[in-house]
């Protein structure tokens, strides 16, 4: 299924495309729409569509400017330009940006579907080409590339002094001068079975080409290292100047001259992780280092990123994280205290698991019992789980016996493991109780950020101006950073959460008031009543009118 995003300021045209195509009967889903480029940017960043359909002339940010930004931040997206003007200059500029198709209005639903099918075919062809063994064999690295990677590895590991690094870097055509830097380490999660590794290098190279001055190299087969520099006025090419919107749009700049490199490193990490996991079977762990304000601090940033990536990958995590992922001193359980029970792996999984992961955890941990259920082994496994669960709950000041909905006495546990079905059911209840207790009592990592973001959304969802960017500004981190941690910590992306909150309010108003559907749309932050009806039916299953009738 390919995700399509539509940007069109003419409501008649937007509704025509939305309503004339039977999306549910095709290989496409209309994942979102916006009336202008400015509003679209935040939504596209969050939804990550495969195909973008955009009008060329719109207020705030036009279609060409939007295309430039999208091609830089999410280069995998295929773009279709809609125009009411058959002008050569428009078409030429669009093609120079890498736009796939340039269509003249009006466009019939049949022509639009043909265009989408053509683009979907290209996406599939690109994936096959990327993964083809013949193509990979043709990409032979030169000796100079190998020497460059070796030199960069020495530099990032602190084996080359800063003064010498700047001079020696020039010999490899590397400009290391910058006001600030951030290192990142990308690792393949061990144990994951994916496609060939070489396509990952090609993906990363394509993405990194979009970021002026950023550097990457291969540390070893399953580890890539990034060094992202601050984007200065000198490092932004003149042709990219239009990527920086006007002052009235400064909160959502894609390239902000003189700003720290945090936003760029999260954008790169998001783009690569999304592309790699979508096109191959590999799972990706990315560690983000600390900000280095001078070149001599780069090795420290790298070591932090490496530690995060190694920690995450070794524990089966696949996410983008900074130092908040690492356990604080004394937090991790010391298995030596219980020499007969090895609970380290399960303890780590349980610390970071979500409720949706419970069945996968149980399956992994009870694999030895799949073909031959043994009461003694089941009793031992249950004991390990109890020890890990007790450690987590006690660290948070609680008592495991008080939160688990069944007795933990030995005699009771022996009776539980007599049946495989009962054993699995009680494991599920135990793990769910611990996760629920952990989530309601922990204040670590990104919890404060998520709480603050939700607080802002819940208080401002009725405004049509609320966006990923305004929320990020409120919580004090970059939009890309917020987009990443919000999805990882809550299990849903920013737009899905905002939509859910708005629709819950809409349901209340439909049940308790006589307000018209159009008025409710404006009341909860939708600028287009027709789009509100579309989203309501898409998520609830019935139209607002049908929902009201069903509740009366």
Residue 187's DSSP bridge partners are: 223, 285
Residues 520-533: tens digit of each pLDDT: 999 999 888 888 98
Range of the domain at 253: 144-325
Last residue of a domain, one of 424, 441, 458: 441
Last residue of a domain, one of 421, 441, 461: 441
Residue 138 domain-assigned (yes or no): no
When divided into structural domains, the chain yields a total of 4
The pTM of the full predicted model, rounded to 2 decimals, is 0.58
Q: For residues 279 and 190, is the Cβ–Cβ distance under 8 A?
A: no
- Same domain for 319 and 341? no
467, pLDDT greater than 70: yes
Average pLDDT over residues 8-12: 86
- Same domain for 169 and 124? no
- Same domain for 184 and 297? yes
Residue 136 domain-assigned (yes or no): no
- Same domain for 316 and 230? yes
- Same domain for 514 and 417? no
- Same domain for 418 and 453? no
Q: Could you tell me how many residues make up the chain? A: 552
Torsion of CA 269, 273, 274, 279, to 10 degrees: 140
- Same domain for 172 and 316? yes
- Same domain for 473 and 421? no
Helix or strand run (H / E) with residue 224: strand 223-229
Helix or strand run (H / E) with residue 88: helix 88-96
Last residue of a domain, one of 263, 297, 325: 325
Residue 208 domain-assigned (yes or no): yes
- Domain of 252, CATH number, reads 3.30.70
Tell me which of 84-88, 181-185, 335-339 is least confident.
Answer: 335-339
Residues 300-332: tens digit of each pLDDT: 999 999 998 988 887 777 888 887 766 544 333
Average pLDDT over residues 287-298: 91
- Same domain for 115 and 155? no
- Same domain for 261 and 369? no
Tell me whether strands 2-7 and 51-55 are parallel, antiparallel or unpaired. parallel
- Domain of 476, CATH number, reads 1.10.10.60
* Alpha helix stretches (DSSP H) within 374-513: 375-395, 400-403, 410-416, 420-441, 447-460, 468-475, 479-490, 494-512
- Same domain for 69 and 26? yes
Compute the distance between CA of residue 208 and CA of residue 230 in angstroms, rounded to an integer. 14
- Same domain for 246 and 382? no
Compute the distance between CA of residue 305 and CA of residue 315 in angstroms, rounded to an integer. 16
């Amino acid at each position: 299924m390919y995700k399509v995003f539509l940007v069109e300021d003419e409501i008649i045209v937007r509704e025509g495309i939305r309503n004339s195509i039977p999306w549910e009967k095709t290989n496409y889903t209309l994942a979102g729409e916006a009336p202008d480029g400015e509003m679209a940017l935040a939504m596209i960043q969050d939804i990550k569509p495969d195909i973008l359909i955009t009008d060329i002339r719109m207020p705030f940010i036009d279609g060409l400017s939007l295309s430039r930004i999208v091609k830089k931040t999410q280069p995998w997206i295929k773009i279709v330009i809609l125009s009411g003007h058959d002008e050569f200059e428009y078409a030429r500029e669009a093609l120079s940006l890498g736009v796939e198709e340039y269509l003249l209005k009006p466009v019939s639903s049949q022509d639009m579907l043909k265009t989408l099918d053509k683009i979907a075919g290209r996406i599939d062809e690109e994936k096959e080409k990327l993964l083809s063994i013949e193509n990979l064999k043709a990409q032979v690295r030169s000796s100079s590339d190998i020497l460059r990677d070796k030199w960069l590895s020495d530099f990032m590991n602190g084996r080359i002094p800063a003064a010498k690094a700047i001079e020696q870097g020039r010999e490899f055509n590397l400009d290391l001068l910058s006001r600030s830097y951030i290192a990142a380490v990308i690792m393949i999660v061990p144990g994951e079975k994916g496609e060939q590794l070489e396509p990952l290098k090609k993906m990363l190279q394509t993405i990194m080409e979009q970021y002026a001055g950023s550097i990457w190299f291969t540390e070893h087969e399953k580890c890539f290292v990034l060094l992202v520099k601050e984007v200065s006025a000198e490092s932004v090419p003149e042709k990219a100047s239009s990527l920086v919107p006007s002052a009235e749009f400064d909160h959502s700049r894609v390239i902000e001259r003189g700003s720290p490199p945090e936003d760029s490193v999260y954008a790169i990490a998001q783009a690569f992780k999304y592309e790699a996991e979508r096109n191959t079977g590999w799972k990706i762990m990315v560690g983000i280092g600390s900000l280095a304000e001078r070149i001599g601090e780069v090795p420290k940033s790298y070591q932090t990123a490496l530690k995060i990536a190694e920690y995450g990958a070794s524990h089966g995590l696949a996410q983008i994280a900074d130092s908040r992922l690492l356990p604080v001193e004394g937090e991790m359980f010391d298995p030596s205290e219980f020499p007969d029970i090895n609970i380290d792996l399960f303890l780590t999984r349980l610390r970071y698991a979500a409720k949706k992961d419970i069945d996968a955890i149980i399956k992994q941990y009870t694999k030895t019992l799949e073909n031959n259920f043994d009461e003694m082994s089941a009793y031992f496994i249950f004991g390990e789980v109890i020890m890990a669960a007790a450690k987590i709950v006690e660290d948070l000041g609680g008592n495991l016996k008080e939160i688990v909905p069944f007795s933990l006495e030995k005699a009771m546990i022996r009776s539980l493991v007599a049946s495989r079905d009962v054993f699995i059911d009680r494991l599920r209840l135990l793990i769910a109780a611990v996760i629920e207790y952990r989530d309601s009592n922990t204040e670590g990592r990104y919890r404060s950020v998520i709480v603050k973001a939700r607080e802002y959304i819940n208080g401002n969802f009725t405004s049509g101006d609320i966006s990923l960017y305004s929320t990020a500004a409120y919580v004090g981190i970059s939009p890309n950073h917020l987009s990443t941690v919000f999805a990882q910590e809550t299990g849903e992306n920013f737009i899905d959460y905002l939509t859910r909150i708005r629709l819950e309010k809409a349901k209340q108003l439909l049940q308790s008031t006589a307000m018209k559907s159009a008025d409710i749309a404006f009341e909860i932050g939708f600028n287009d009543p027709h789009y509100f009806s579309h989203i309501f039916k898409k998520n609830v299953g019935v139209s607002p009118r049908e929902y009201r009738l069903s509740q009366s």
